[in-house]
Structure 1
Amino acid sequence: MSIVAEIPGFIQIFSDGTVTRFSPEIAQPSPVVSRGYKSKDIVINPLKPISARIFLPQTADSAPLPVVLYFHGGGFCFGSTTWLGYHYFLGTLCTKSQCIVLSVEYRLAPEHRIPAAYEDCHEAVTWLSSKGSAGDEWLSQADLRRVFLMGDSAGANIVHHVCLRVLSSKAEKVKIGGLSLIHPYFGSEERLEKESTEATKVSDALWQLSLPVGSNRDHFACNFETAEDGKEVDWSKFPATLVHVAGEDLLSQRGVMYEGFLKRKAVKEVELVLQEGQPHVYFLFSPEDAATTSLHEKLYQFIHRLD
């Protein structure tokens, strides 16, 4: 048995199809309040499976709380809401923004290639709009008129595609109050200035593992300029969107292009947020850094801009 693909330190794929993933430190949920919030893991669909971690802020107020549905990054191939970096970042978001956070654990490639991640995260939206808010005490304060889709890297890509599915289905009872795409993971067959051959080796490998077999980087999942077959989008209904880019991030040019794409589609409210001098997903590794504090402040303002 030999290794046929590898992202050192994260994932190995063997010739018999088995996959080994390497994880950083894991955080256990805490059903008692700590750092101003409590957390627990719930099951959305045991058959696939799809699960999520809920973060609930400590508050004496019984008023309805906005909900953030968060999708983690990892190139569609690794990553978890249980990682310590995500747990701390989302717990802090829950506390600072006084919102409920539902962080989704979706199926990963290459065992479950795209569109599995989109299907799972869209199912989480549907679950929230029906069974979730009615069947879980922690979601009893959820304000389904203020639901925000957020994610980083591949999770930001998922935000875009799940939103398109929500707009197409028209079945969910939730109202999407906005999108926040942090360092979005997009691409195309065309190379950009920052995308040197050496720098994009990992990105290319992840796309090869996650896109449908036989697809290239102009597949609709990767290239946002490419329309998904059979799906028409009413861009006038696309929610307010924050696009976050980091100055030292290989993906920053794609984020700037995505903002321009939405503006060309005449999306009503689009804002680009640039953090100079920062690398990809810096907030997972520097939770106390000024840039991370600034990110939390921006997210708070976005969530509560219409209060």
Structure 2
Amino acid sequence: MSTVDESTEFIQVLSDGSVKRFAPEVAIASTESSDGFKSKDIVLDSSKPITARIFLPDVSESIVGQLPVLVYFHGGGFCIGSTTWLGYHHFLGDLSVISKTIVLSVDYRLAPENKLPIAYDDCYTSLEWLGNNAHSESWFRKADLSHVFLSGDSAGGNIVHQVATRAIKGKVSGVIIKGLLLIHPYFGSEKRTELEMAEESAGHVQSNDMFWRLSIPEGENRDYFGCNLEKTELSGDEWHQFPQVVVFVAGLDFLKERGVMYADFLQKKVDRKVNLIEAEGESHVYHVFRPKSEATSLLQKQMSDFIHSF
């Protein structure tokens, strides 16, 4: 048996079709409060299956009124990642406390076994679950479904855009998306950016090309609609319905250019300001690798400020 594709730190695809993923430490959900929040895992759709982890801040019990809901999609090039990873668990749990928000973090099915658009379908299912089932889940007793926000990092940021686009066309009953928070979003195209063409970027380009090759459908290239954001199909009226957006980029991130391009692209389509915030001196998804850092605390505050600006 031979190796077909490999990123030594993250994934190995073998000739028989099997996949080995190199996962970091995971956190077990706990309904006992710790660090100001509690968590539990639920099933959104047992037929696929699609699962999620809810993060509920302790302050929810003392607050009069309802709490906003943040639906989060993890990163990993569509091929790796999980809301159970220790970094995500701490980042999202702490975010729920800081922002006084109920967080629903989705574990969608991964490529290459489940190529795009399956991840988009699974994550859209999380909105349908909210609209149809949140009322019967006790942890959503104080959820304000008229103040729902979509967020995600890297490939999860890409998913945010695709799910928001589909929601504009589909109108999920009972759920109103107020804003999108994209962290270091993962887009691409057949045309390389300046940074992607730089000699020192060869390793990053090779890795990115592999993740896209594993995740997009057979016969497609990096101009696939899920990769090239310019392929987004919305009418003028639909663009006017696009939610408020904040895009976070990291100064040392190889994908910074793509995040800036996304903000510029949206700014030409929507009739309101698209916010772009840079974390200088930080690398791609630093908040996952260093969830207790000062930079991550600042990111959480900026996210909280955006959520509560509505």
Say yes or no: TM over 0.5. Answer: yes
1:170 maps to what in 2?
Answer: 171
CA contact (8 A) 2:74 2:81 kept: yes
SS of equivalent residue, structure 1 residue 128: helix
> What amino acid sits opposite 2:282 in the alignment?
Q
> What amino acid sits opposite 2:22 in the alignment?
F
Write the distance in 2 (CA, Å) between the matches of 1:252 and 1:148: 23
Write out per-residue CA displacement over residues 266-289 of structure 1, whole angstroms, 9 at most, x where no aligned residue: 242310001111100011122232
> What does residue range 90-239 of structure 1 map to in structure 2 within 5 Å?
90-131=92-133, 133-195=134-196, 196-228=201-233, 232=235, 234-239=238-243
Aligned length: 303
Write the distance in 1 (CA, Å) between the matches of 2:117 and 2:161: 13
Structure with greater proportional helix content: 2
1:34 maps to what in 2?
Answer: 34
1:74 maps to what in 2?
Answer: 76
2:46 maps to what in 1?
Answer: 46
> What amino acid sits opposite 1:213 in the alignment?
E
Write the distance in 2 (CA, Å) between the matches of 1:220 and 1:209: 15
Write the distance in 1 (CA, Å) between the matches of 2:271 and 2:205: 30
CA contact (8 A) 2:131 2:172 kept: no
SS of equivalent residue, structure 2 residue 33: coil
Write the distance in 2 (CA, Å) between the matches of 1:127 and 1:289: 33
CA contact (8 A) 1:168 1:232 kept: no
1:303 maps to what in 2?
Answer: 307
CA contact (8 A) 1:24 1:84 kept: yes
SS of equivalent residue, structure 1 residue 167: helix
Write the distance in 2 (CA, Å) between the matches of 1:126 and 1:267: 28
CA contact (8 A) 1:36 1:57 kept: yes
Shift of 1:232: 4.3
In structure 2, stretches of 5+ residues that fail to align are none
SS of equivalent residue, structure 1 residue 200: helix
1:275 aligns with 2:282: no
Shift of 1:184: 0.2
Shift of 1:199: 2.4
1:251 maps to what in 2?
Answer: 255
Write the distance in 1 (CA, Å) between the matches of 2:294 and 2:98: 15
Q: What RMSD, in angstroms, separates the aligned Cα atoms of the two structures?
A: 1.1
2:288 maps to what in 1?
Answer: 284
CA contact (8 A) 1:73 1:154 kept: yes
Write the distance in 1 (CA, Å) between the matches of 2:232 and 2:166: 12
Write the distance in 2 (CA, Å) between the matches of 1:50 and 1:285: 25
Question: Higher mean Cα deviation, 119-128 or 283-292?
Answer: 283-292
Q: Percent identity?
A: 52
Write out per-residue CA displacement over residues 140-198 of structure 1, whole angstroms, 9 at most, x where no aligned residue: 11100000000000000000000000000023321101000000000111111111333
1:58 aligns with 2:72: no
> What amino acid sits opposite 1:181 in the alignment?
L
> What amino acid sits opposite 1:2 in the alignment?
S
CA contact (8 A) 2:79 2:214 kept: yes
Write out per-residue CA displacement over residues 64-117 of structure 1, whole angstroms, 9 at most, x where no aligned residue: 110000000000000000000000000000000000000000000000000000
Write the distance in 2 (CA, Å) between the matches of 1:51 and 1:269: 34
